[in-house]
Amino acid sequence: MNSLTSSLPTNKGPRPDSRERDFVDETITRRSGRPGALLGILEDVQEHAEGKYLCLDTLAYIAQRTGTPLSQIFSVVTFYSLFSLTPQGEHIISICRGTACHTRGSRDLLEKLRLELGMAEGDGQADKLTITSADGKFTIRTVACFGQCAMAPVVEVDHRICGHMNERVLTREVEALHQEKAR
Ligand code: FES
């Protein structure tokens, strides 16, 4: 294992298993030749994976199947905040901590959400944070900027961008996710 890969999390179980390999193969076939194919492949595979994350062996498999250097794939997944190298919750709420969102109260939104979900402060600074609830249901993440500054403060709820967010609406979004879970 080289220095690039030694810092990556190891697999919990055998991954990718045959089902995941089939999904990767099918995704590569479907996405190949399209603009941004690699990003799309990584996004689809992460969304499909148990724990919604990309482990080293899965990245290595994608590298092998697409003929892309693993170092290039690793650069992509560490550059884009949407990718995770560690397991994530069932629901992912991302709060923008960019300047425009910060000046419009994103720190308060982050604190409100963290308290509402009973999460500790977690590792890292508020500007780069990933916390997952003990039951694995929710992950809160912070991102640098969604590129939607005119709608600040911006929060993403399970890939849905919500602009002009406030605490009342955020509470409603979380309640809806809790209810969805109970259905
Ligand atoms: S600073 Fe939040 S979307 Fe740009």
Condensed to tens digits (0 to 9), the pLDDT of residues 41-68 reads 999 999 999 889 999 999 999 999 999 9
Choosing from 79, 99, 134, the residue where a domain stops is 79
Closest by CA position to 54, among listed 38, 77, 36, 34: 77
> Are 25 and 67 part of one and the same domain?
yes
* pLDDT band at residue 126 under the 50/70/90 scheme: low
Q: Which domain holds residue 61?
A: 3-79
Is residue 151 lining ligand 1, measured as CB closer than 6 Å? no
Ligand 1 centroid, distance to 120 Cα (angstroms): 25
* pLDDT band at residue 148 under the 50/70/90 scheme: very high
86 part of a folded domain: no
Is residue 154 lining ligand 1, measured as CB closer than 6 Å? yes
Tell me: pLDDT of 5 over 60: no
Tell me: pLDDT of 93 over 90: yes
> Are 144 and 71 part of one and the same domain?
no
Over residues 23-43, the mean pLDDT reads 94
123 part of a folded domain: yes
DSSP 149: G
- The confidence score (pLDDT) of residue 138 equals 94
Is residue 131 lining ligand 1, measured as CB closer than 6 Å? no
> Are 98 and 70 part of one and the same domain?
no
Contacts 24+ apart (CB under 8 A), 115-118: 116/171, 116/174, 117/174
Upper half-sphere CA count for residue 79 (Cβ side, 13 Å): 8
pTM: 0.77
> Are 15 and 68 part of one and the same domain?
yes
Q: Are 119 and 133 in contact (CB under 8 A)?
A: yes
> Are 60 and 107 part of one and the same domain?
no
Upper half-sphere CA count for residue 130 (Cβ side, 13 Å): 13
How many Å apart are CA 137 and CA 50, to the nearest integer?
Answer: 13
Ligand 1 centroid, distance to 146 Cα (angstroms): 5
Over residues 82-101, the mean pLDDT reads 93
> Are 71 and 121 part of one and the same domain?
no
Domain count, the chain: 2
155 part of a folded domain: yes
Atom of ligand 1 nearest to the CA of 99: 1
Choosing from 47, 79, 111, the residue where a domain stops is 79
- The confidence score (pLDDT) of residue 62 equals 97
Tell me: pLDDT of 13 over 70: no
- The confidence score (pLDDT) of residue 151 equals 97
> Are 46 and 104 part of one and the same domain?
no
Tell me: pLDDT of 14 over 70: no
Is residue 63 lining ligand 1, measured as CB closer than 6 Å? no
> Are 95 and 59 part of one and the same domain?
no
8 part of a folded domain: yes
Ligand 1 centroid, distance to 104 Cα (angstroms): 10
Ligand 1 centroid, distance to 25 Cα (angstroms): 35
> Are 56 and 120 part of one and the same domain?
no
Tell me: pLDDT of 87 over 50: yes
> Are 98 and 178 part of one and the same domain?
yes
> Are 74 and 118 part of one and the same domain?
no
Is residue 101 lining ligand 1, measured as CB closer than 6 Å? yes
